[in-house]
Amino acid sequence: MAWAPEDSLVIGISSRALLMLDEEDRIYQEKGVQAFIDYQCQHEDRVIELGVAFPLVKALLHLNETLGSEGKPAIEVVIISRNHPACLIRINNSLQHHGVRIRKAVFTGNGDPLPHLKALKVGLFLSSEERAVKDALAVGISAGLIHGGPEFAGQLDGTPIIAFDGDAVLFSDQSDRAYQAGKLAGFKAHEIENAGIPLPAGPLHEFALALERLRENYPIESPPFRIALVTARDIEFCDRPIRTLRKWGIRLDHATFCGGMSKAVALAALKPLIFFDDDPRNW
């Protein structure tokens, strides 16, 4: 049977996040579409270097060896790009050179990618362009502006880790707003007042749920990948995040409550494949 978006967790990735296309984008911005097309045709045999998202994509595709069944991948990576189709041959050649097989791609020629994100039921869209990420989030699609590179792709005990910040990422920014309005005292009062109420869902809530569904048939002691929470909260304020995740059915494998410590310290030890955070200081 033909593949359908419902068969997999669909990860959308922009071509500029997957491969290093900065020079090509400069030509497009400064000289226009025809110059971009001419450049791509003249360089079709030149391999494009790896982009910041490549290690993550490779690791996610590797998970299909464990998670896939009945010939349908548990995770389907789709390139969804505003780039002109003139770069398709070069991108395909580069992916083959780098040893990654991506079967599906949409190149809109500067058209709106949102209809394609919706049609493909994308569970997570990663891009190097802030506008594209904000557009996806505005229509309820989990999305992230990706930073970093190969040095950030790590493992712990051989099991990949996907890590999330809590407030304004997994959860809404409700508690963050309470802190901004009343500093620590206001935040503490807000958390005490709402202690028995689960935190509202945030922009990455649906993606986290989709990850849990992928591994729901695996025992907690041997998951195919681990889900981690790395939050700026003190442990004093752990109740609502932990109880909320429990209510959602997300089995948390690791938690770090930084309590004023830099998240970089925690992430250096954890070495996640990717960390989702709303604060640019942690990117």
Dist. CA 224–CA 161, nearest whole Å = 9
What's the farthest any 2 CA atoms get from each other in the chain? 64
Of 165, 130, 123, 160, the residue nearest 146 (C-alpha) = 130
165 is an active site residue? yes
126 strand-pairing partners: 13, 144
- Three-class secondary structure of residue 208 per DSSP: helix
Question: Cβ contacts of residue 268 below 8 Å, gap of 6+?
Answer: none
- Three-class secondary structure of residue 283 per DSSP: coil
Question: Cβ contacts of residue 203 below 8 Å, gap of 6+?
Answer: 137, 142, 143, 168, 169
Alpha helices, H only, the chain: 15-18, 22-31, 33-42, 54-67, 88-97, 114-119, 130-138, 174-193, 205-214, 239-248, 263-270
CB atoms within 10 A of CB 166: 27
Of 214, 208, 200, 206, the residue nearest 229 (C-alpha) = 208
The one catalytic residue in 165, 167, 253, 277 is 165
Answer whether 15's CB lies under 8 Å from 87's CB: yes
Question: Cβ contacts of residue 206 below 8 Å, gap of 6+?
Answer: 123, 140, 142
Q: What amino acid positions are annotated as catalytic residues? A: 165
